[in-house]
Amino acid sequence: MAKDNSLMDAIVSLCKRRGFVFQSSEIYGGLRGLWDYGPLGVELKRNIKEVWWRDMITTHDELAQPEGTPSTFQMVGIESSIIMHPRVWKTSGHYDLFADQMVDCRTCKSRFRADHVATSECPQKPSKCPGEHEACDLTEPRDFNLMFETYVGALRDEENKAFLRPETAQGMFVNFKNVMDSNRVKIPFGIAQQGKSFRNEITPRNFTFRTREFEQMEMEFFCHPDESPKWYTYWRDRRFKWYTDLGIDPAKLILRDHDADELSHYSVGTADVEYAFPFCDEGEFGELEGIAHRGDFDLRSHMEGKLVREGDKLVVEKGEDGKPKYPGSGKDMTILNEETKERYVPHVIEPAAGADRTVLAFICNAYNEETVTNDKGKEETRIVMKFHPRIAPYKVGVFPLLKNKPDLVAKAREVCTLLRPHMAVFYDEGGAIGRRYRRQDEAGTPFGVTIDFDTLGEQGDELKNTVTLRDRDTMEQTRMPIGELLAFLLEKIR
């Protein structure tokens, strides 16, 4: 897939026009790397998060796992606080290590991520990469910690310094024992959460792909070390399938195993689910989710203290006084294997997805421009968002044929009342029916229901109490009794 800036521009413009995504604080000129979801965007995002939650937790059935699954397992959710004890970030390594390298250009005063220089746009075009233009004057790379700082309490001193979390995962690790003790879960099991994370990205870019405030959907799966390779493969494949089941074009999605030199110092294996966004160069993809085998790194860190690699071992990092540089909690995170009486620290498999990047991938994937012939026999472009019905912001549009006919309006309202307890319904009585269909095509509403004079029985009893049902993708229109509508739509959206 080649890079397509005009396609990306068209998608960004539709997002604003239809109320999917707005620039944050736009009336004041916006703030870089921050975005707001409009009425359609918020529904889409909620639906995506809900489908993820259902798939990972509520509808997970430990007794009906697919063949080849190593053993049964339980899944639970939590919601942890955004500001956590600063020691969490010291022992996890984020305090010392969660940094990107940045370079500044002394000439144009722009700032770039050192590892993105080759793909960044130099403001001093025509040369594309910073450093290539003769006037470019780049500084040496410098570390830049991505965590946002804040203060807890009245005094703004080092003692009270805290951080906005850069990932939700630590909430699961620090609550590992609490969940085990309170919920009778047994290894293997998973703890999941969704929530905001914050990273002071050096170069936020590509619309909502890289932002400074974003939402994550993460799960930590705790298992016996001997079983961890099987679980890693299980979650890696299952997470990839989640995207294609919801309609992401498999030709644009890859599961990419990290090379050894890309792995974090503690990771045994990591694979990314990546999507060919229109802003990606030919053959390049953008990460939606990382599935990592994290070994016992996280639980051991919170038990013993910040770990560093020494040869092929992870050891507690010592300060100048020979004591642990950042001591752990000292809490016992080991599990007793009842059969062998062995004690072990569970290994962790982590599928970590970004909700906003997933939303953007579904938006790009749904966007279609088609040439159609209108009522007057002329060709025109139809923009249609082909969302999977499960995630579409509205499931059905309900339209009285004419708004100045009270009987049509009353019947249409009746249909809305019938459907609304079960799904998101959009009622629209304004303008020509064709225009109303087009608006819902752009919103990605999979079905349209029109109430006309046949519905009222004005042309005879045969079609009385039937409606026209229009399919967004095929534009086919069929007649359906109102009594069958709810069951039909429920079947399609579940």
* Residues making contact with ligand ATP (CB under 6 A): 167, 199, 201, 210-211, 214, 216, 287-290, 352-354, 356-357
With beta carbons less than 8 A apart as the criterion, state whether 141 and 128 touch.
Answer: no
Nearest distance, CB of residue 256 and ligand ATP, angstroms: 12
Q: Which is nearer to ligand ATP, 175 or 206 (CB)?
A: 206
Q: Please, what is the minimum distance in Å from the beta carbon of residue 93 to ligand ATP?
A: 12
For 161, phi then psi, to 5°, come to -70, 135
Report which residue type is found at 313: K
Q: What residues contact 258, with CB distance under 8 A and at least 6 apart?
A: 267, 269, 270, 271, 272
* CA 299 to each of CA 169, 309, 331: distance values in angstroms, whole numbers, following the listed order: 12, 16, 10
Nearest to 294 by CA among 344, 353, 241, 223: 223
Shortest gap between Cβ of 287 and ligand ATP (angstroms)? 5
**Closer to ligand ATP by Cβ: residue 78 or 402:** 78
Nearer to ligand ATP, 267 or 334 (CB): 267
Q: Residue 226: how many CB atoms within 10 A of its CB?
A: 10
Minimum distance, C-beta of residue 142 to ligand ATP, in the bound complex (Å): 18
Strands 307-310, 313-316: pairing kind = antiparallel
Nearer to ligand ATP, 149 or 310 (CB): 149
Cβ 96 vs Cβ 86: under 8 Å: no
Axis-axis angle for helices 39-53, 355-366 (nearest 10): 110
DSSP 8-class letter at 305:
B
Closest CB 316 distance from ligand ATP, rounded Å: 24
Q: What span, in angstroms and rounded, lies between the C-alpha atoms of 222 and 51?
A: 22
In whole angstroms, the minimum distance from the beta carbon of 50 to ligand ATP comes to 18
CB-nearer residue toward ligand ATP: 52 or 426: 52
H or E stretch at 373: strand 367-373
Instruction: Name the burial class of residue 303, with classes exposed (0-12), middle (13-18) and buried (19+) by CB atoms within 10 angstroms of its CB.
Output: buried
CB closer to ligand ATP out of 187 and 352? 352
Q: Which is nearer to ligand ATP, 352 or 384 (CB)?
A: 352
CB of 290 to ligand ATP, least distance (A): 4
Distance in Å, CB of 34 to ligand ATP, minimum:
10
Helix (H, G, I), strand (E, B) or coil at 349: strand
- What's the token pair of residue 378? 């002329």
Nearer to ligand ATP, 116 or 388 (CB): 116
Tell me how far apart the alpha carbons of residues 15 and 19 are, in angstroms, rounded to a whole number.
Answer: 6
